[in-house]
Amino acid sequence: MELQGEFVFDGSREEVWELVRDPEVLSSALPGTQSLNQVSESEYEGQMTMRVGPVSGVFAGKVVVSDEVPPESYTLAVEGRGAPGFAKGTGHVQLVDQGDGTTLMKYEGDVQIGGKLASVGQRMLETVSKSMTRQGLETLNQALQARKTAEAEGREVEYTPPSETEFAMSVARDLAGEVFSPQHRTVWVVVAVAIVSVAIGFWLGRRK
Amino acid sequence: MTDAQKTGKYVGQRVTRNEDPRLLTGQALFVDDVDLPDMLHAAFLRSDYAHARVRSIDVSAARTRPGVVAVYTAEDMGDFWRPGPLIVPPPSKVEGIVFHARTQIPMVKDKARHIGDPLAVVIAESRYIAEDALEDIIVDYEPLEAVVDLEKALEPDAPLVYDDLDSNLAAHVIQEKGNYEAAREQADVVIKRRIVIDRGAAAALENRGVVAAWDAKSQQLTVWDTTQAPIPIRNGIAAMLGLSEHQVRVIAPFIGGGFGPKIMMDQPEEVLVPWAAVKLNRPVKWIEDRRENFIGTTQERGQIHDAEIAVTRDGRILGLRDVFLHDTGAYDPYGLTVPLNTQSHALSAYDVPNYYTEFRVVFTNKMIVTPVRGAGRPQGIFVMERMLDLAAKELGMDRTEIRRRNYIPPDAFPYRHVVIDQAFAELIFDSGDYEPALDKAMTMIGYHHFLKEEQPRLRAEGRHVGLGIVSFVETTGVGPYEGARVTVESSGKVSVVTGVGTQGQGHFTSFAQVVADQLGVDVRDVRVVTGDTAQFHWGTGTFASRGAVVAGNAVNCAASNVRTKVLKLASKVLNAPEEELELADGQVRVADIPEQAISLGELAVLANPLRGAVEPGTEPGLESTDYFGPKTCATAFGVVAMVVEVDPETMLVEIQRLVIAHDCGTVLNPMIVDGQIHGGLSLGIGNSFYEQLVYDENGQLLNASFMDYLLPRSTDMPPLIEIGHLETPSPLNPMGSKGVGEAGALPVPAAFAQAVEDALADYGIEILETPLSPNRLFEIVQAARGADE
């Protein structure tokens, strides 16, 4: 399954790159993340709880980062497996300076989904993944704004990401048919999003 | 029809079903109702990958979970691990046949070959614990590229489902009648098309289930199993466990639908549950859930045909050439039954002098393909009927006329089709009279009225209505044989036991009707037992529309023997010649002197005396066991017609009318036959527009739930199904019966395609695939529009 999409951050490319260096911010952008561990220079392992319609369970994921070109691009190879099934994919993330103080994130990749997640969760996958992508990226952008405000005012960053419940409620709302803004109409698959996002976190964790 | 039936009260009547009071009041036993003390529960770990090497399976954590009694993998089975039987070997009569047998295995040892392939089984105190423990098992997979596409599977660089084979070719068969190439030279019109038929599920209401209990003190194993073939299963389990066949009792109780997959023998669960029950010396139960049914129970259809028909200007078929690929999935335990049926049914009801048919069976990383109600026949019918529609269009001929001109004429029976069919014998149609059925269906649907008046009027209103009318044949009642034992008990009631199992076919009534007429008793006084190997242990099972034909005639033979015994004994007791006696109202009486009578019960007591001497060479009791094996298939026939309306905005299709003129020989019970036809038609409607299993390029099944796999609902069925019965008795059995179990499923996709094409005539589409869906229909219409522009 092919995946691609775009998201505009209200910040410079360096700021976004900096943001996605912060694993705590990233893992909070996707509630359900249980652990992140670096196992080698470019390899990370983590666990996350997933729920897609009737299918839920713990996923164990592995991420390998390669081809880093700061602050422009990087490639991820992700693999996750658990009782609900498995996901395996590669993704390429690119940050483009738009010259107006905003940064365009472009992502594309290919993912295979298998097991119960594919066979029973199929009809929910697209909506749930769209919803999670939208929320994950919006949360990141809000974290970025909070960080910028704090910097400008010279105080501690005060930002509380949405709780797992709020996040789940939002997914449910989207599933119930709330529309997405056109810029988020991307065919993302939830696991890929989750793992890719967690992966960004792993990758950042190592830069700290 | 036999003499007793001609004069009897029951055969041919709409007798309400003997089994229904029990079914309707919850007094019928199903496998999941079996609840035994100390019973354990099994859950299976199934592969998430369609194709993967299994490097290791770590079950240590699962074994330590509280409540888990045992966890087994292939390794733990030791010598008990062995591939299952080749249920149907390839027919030896076909020359040059290639067949690679790869039968189903109990649990994966080296490679998982489809999603759902069993890897391990957990036995625990409850199903909840067993399922939780599945999550404790760690499997180290090496994912391999999956073989999914039928054509790519045969390309030289395709990954191999079986590493020891040179390719994914499972079988290759060529059969010929006459000389197609020569016939083609003579043809005025030759039409060639590619036709694609996709997969569906059997989707029985009741999933599979097995309960096994080992009694160590009596050394007896009892297995309750949702099987269509209790006796072969018993023999298989006994052989596998090294027990005598008489130590194993298989009970196939009431079953909520079979439809084919439950004929499969020695499936992993069926072998492992009894094995574990003996090993643990505790009863073990496994009930399949719906998702497991989608990935663990066999499926069918899935063929790609390159068909060519050669016809004369006046619509006579000179020949048919059909070369097709058949998807067998990951294993081929059921041999070639399905593609052979396709080969024989592509000829359908027509006098086709020249036929070239060739198929390749292909291994893929998908669920195993075995017969599902229809068993290859709908594919053959779809191909021939579509080709005839195209030919009629090309010739400017009425679609019913081209069929009429090619029907096998009534005086040509028995008609030799020359090719070898699934019964391993030459395909010979025993009997038939096709034109009256066509006329009847045309009258019922109002064919000419619809085309001349109704359709033009509705079209003028901007409505898209169309008519479809197609023929079909069904080879039914294959051998080898079935048996039955009929006993008059001292109460005067009659007991009938037979080896076949029952999955809703009404055997408790149809068989009782046959016996009641033979012995002159009330149909409610005939108690039928099916599917219990302790009561009858010879036979094969319920499949291939053979219950009424093969088991029905065995019951009839045994009842007829009992009748002979009754008459012989009564003649002595009543001091009257046999030919003056009649059996009625549970008595034997002298026809002219009704008061000179003896009840069957009293006669049964006399036939089994407690004292005195019996005559040498006689058998005790009023009982007989007999068997029936038909030489070849009894061929049923029918014509289906439907009127549909298509909404061009949504591409939803509404079936407004559905009629069938059907001939299954002597009808034992028209109400039961109607029910069978209704069920078959509903599957046919599913195969036309709803039921499609969607596999992705990695062999993942994407719609393994009833949220996504669509069955036709009651609201998708036409408001009324109109059935016309015709009776051309089969000369192959004393009752003249033919099977009907699969009939309805065969013609519907072809009729539906024709009707939709007709409804959308202004778009100029050609439908060369089944099943359709609203979105697929939209794509076909768009493609046709694009081609025009």
What distance, in Å, lies between the first and last C-alpha atoms of chain A?
33
Instruction: Give the Cα separation of B377 and B637 in Å (integer).
Output: 12
Instruction: Give the Cα separation of A16 and A21 in Å (integer).
Output: 8
Residue in the structure block whose two tokens are 């390899």: A43
Residues of A in contact with B134 (CB under 8 A): 83
Q: Is residue B708 part of a domain?
A: yes
ipTM: 0.75
Please name the residues in contact with A24: beta carbons below 8 A apart, sequence gap of 6 or more.
Answer: none
Question: Within this chain, do residues B462 and B315 fall inside the same structural domain, yes or no?
Answer: yes
Higher pLDDT, B264 or B283: B283
Q: By 3-state DSSP, what share of chain A in percent is helix, strand and coil, each rounded to 5?
A: 40, 35, 25
Q: How many domains does chain B have?
A: 3
DSSP string of B78-92, one letter each residue: GGG------SSPPPT
Sheet containing strand B494-498, strands side by side: B526-530, B494-498, B482-488, B622-628
Instruction: Give the Cα separation of A117 and A114 in Å (integer).
Output: 6
Nearest-Cα distance to chain A for B295, in Å, is 9
* C-beta separation of B68 from B130 below 8 A: yes
Cis bond upstream, residue B90 (ω within 30): no
pLDDT tens digits along A14-36: 988 888 766 666 666 666 777 77
Nearest-Cα distance to chain A for B134, in Å, is 8
Question: Is pLDDT at A186 greater than 60 in this prediction?
Answer: no
3-state secondary structure of B774: helix
The domain in which residue B219 lies consists of 204-296
Nearest-Cα distance to chain A for B372, in Å, is 21
Question: Within this chain, do residues B541 and B580 fall inside the same structural domain, yes or no?
Answer: yes
Higher pLDDT, A86 or B526: B526
Task: Quote the pTM value.
Answer: 0.92
3-state secondary structure of B731: coil
Question: Within this chain, do residues B402 and B541 fall inside the same structural domain, yes or no?
Answer: no
Mean pLDDT of the region B764-787: 93
Final residue belonging to a domain, choices B261, B296, B331: B296
Question: Is pLDDT at B318 greater than 70 in this prediction?
Answer: yes
Report the mean per-residue pLDDT for chain B.
95
Q: For residue A139, what are its two tokens?
A: 């949360």
Please count the residue pairs, one from chain A and one from chain B, whose beta carbons lie less than 8 angstroms apart. 47
Q: What single-letter amino acid sits at B273?
A: V
Residue in the structure block whose two tokens are 């081929």: B332
* C-beta separation of A29 from A16 below 8 A: no
**Residue of A2, A50, A86, A119 for testing the chain B interface, max B β-carbons within 10 Å:** A119
Give A116's pLDDT tier (boundaries 50, 70, 90): confident
Name the pairing type of β-strands B118-124 and B68-73: antiparallel
Cα-only R_g, chain B? 28
- Which among B135, B143, B291 has CB closest to A119? B291
Q: Is residue B70 part of a domain?
A: no
Question: Is pLDDT at A183 greater than 80 in this prediction?
Answer: no
B44 close to A (CB below 8 A): no
Nearest-Cα distance to chain B for A31, in Å, is 22
B321 beta partners: B308, B356
Mean pLDDT of the region B259-265: 90
Higher pLDDT, A147 or B167: B167
- Which among B134, B135, B702 has CB closest to A119? B702
Question: Within this chain, do residues B269 and B285 fall inside the same structural domain, yes or no?
Answer: yes
pLDDT tens digits along B82-91: 999 999 999 9
Question: Is pLDDT at A208 greater than 70 in this prediction?
Answer: no
Residues of B in contact with A54 (CB under 8 A): 705
- Which among B48, B135, B708 has CB closest to A122? B708
Percent of chain B with pLDDT over 90: 90
Question: Within this chain, do residues B249 and B306 fall inside the same structural domain, yes or no?
Answer: no
Question: Is pLDDT at B787 greater than 60 in this prediction?
Answer: yes
Higher pLDDT, B320 or A146: B320
Cβ of B707 within 8 Å of Cβ of A123? The answer is yes
Question: Within this chain, do residues B325 and B471 fall inside the same structural domain, yes or no?
Answer: yes
Percent of chain B with pLDDT over 70: 99
DSSP string of B13-66, one letter each residue: S-PPPTTHHHHHTT-S--GGG---TT-EEEEEEE-SSSSEEEEEEE-HHHHHST
Final residue belonging to a domain, choices B628, B644, B662: B628
Which residue of chain B comes nearest to A82, CA vs CA?
A: B135
* C-beta separation of A73 from A50 below 8 A: no
Q: What pLDDT is stored for residue B788 in this prediction?
A: 57
pLDDT tens digits along B583-627: 999 999 999 998 999 999 999 999 998 877 777 778 889 999 999
Give B415's pLDDT tier (boundaries 50, 70, 90): very high
Q: What pLDDT is stored for residue A207 in this prediction?
A: 39
Question: Within this chain, do residues B284 and B339 fall inside the same structural domain, yes or no?
Answer: no
Q: Is residue B438 part of a domain?
A: yes
Length of chain B in terms of residues written: 789
Instruction: Give the Cα separation of B733 and B2 in Å (integer).
Output: 10
Give B72's pLDDT tier (boundaries 50, 70, 90): very high
* C-beta separation of B568 from B503 below 8 A: no
Sign of torsion over alpha carbons B180, B184, B189, B194: positive
pLDDT tens digits along B756-766: 999 999 999 99
Question: Within this chain, do residues B502 and B465 fall inside the same structural domain, yes or no?
Answer: no
Cβ of A122 within 8 Å of Cβ of B134? The answer is no
Cβ of B704 within 8 Å of Cβ of A119? The answer is yes
Q: CATH no. for residue B677?
A: 3.30.365.10
Cβ neighbour number for residue A2 with a 10 Å cutoff: 9
pLDDT tens digits along B27-62: 999 999 999 999 999 999 999 999 999 999 999 999
- Which among A54, A81, A114 has CB closest to B700? A114
**Residue of B117, B367, B692, B700 for testing the chain A interface, max A β-carbons within 10 Å:** B700
Question: Is pLDDT at A191 greater than 60 in this prediction?
Answer: no
Instruction: Give the Cα separation of B685 and B667 in Å (integer).
Output: 24
Mean pLDDT of the region B108-127: 97
Final residue belonging to a domain, choices B235, B265, B296: B296
Question: Is pLDDT at B745 greater than 50 in this prediction?
Answer: yes
Question: Is pLDDT at B467 greater than 60 in this prediction?
Answer: yes
Please name the residues in contact with B44: beta carbons below 8 A apart, sequence gap of 6 or more.
Answer: B118, B119, B120, B121, B122, B134, B268, B269, B286, B292, B296
Nearest-Cα distance to chain B for A25, in Å, is 30
Question: Within this chain, do residues B522 and B419 fall inside the same structural domain, yes or no?
Answer: no
Question: Within this chain, do residues B350 and B457 fall inside the same structural domain, yes or no?
Answer: yes
pLDDT tens digits along B534-585: 999 998 888 878 888 899 999 999 999 999 999 999 999 999 999 999 999 9
Q: What pLDDT is stored for residue B5 in this prediction?
A: 58
- Which among B48, B698, B703 has CB closest to A122? B703
Domain A2-207, CATH among 3.40.640.10, 3.30.530.20, 3.40.50.1100, 3.30.300.30: 3.30.530.20
Surface of A (99-128) touching B: CB under 8 A: 112-116, 118-120, 122-123
pLDDT tens digits along B371-396: 999 999 999 999 999 999 999 999 99
Classify residue B135 by its DSSP letter. T
Question: Within this chain, do residues B316 and B442 fall inside the same structural domain, yes or no?
Answer: yes
Q: Is residue B75 part of a domain?
A: no
The widest CA-to-CA distance across chain A, in whole angstroms, is 51
Mean pLDDT of the region B405-432: 92
Q: What pLDDT is stored for residue A180 in this prediction?
A: 39
B52 close to A (CB below 8 A): no
Q: What pLDDT is stored for residue A30 in this prediction?
A: 64
Q: Helices A122-153 and A164-175: crossing angle, nearest 10°?
A: 130
Q: Is residue B79 part of a domain?
A: no
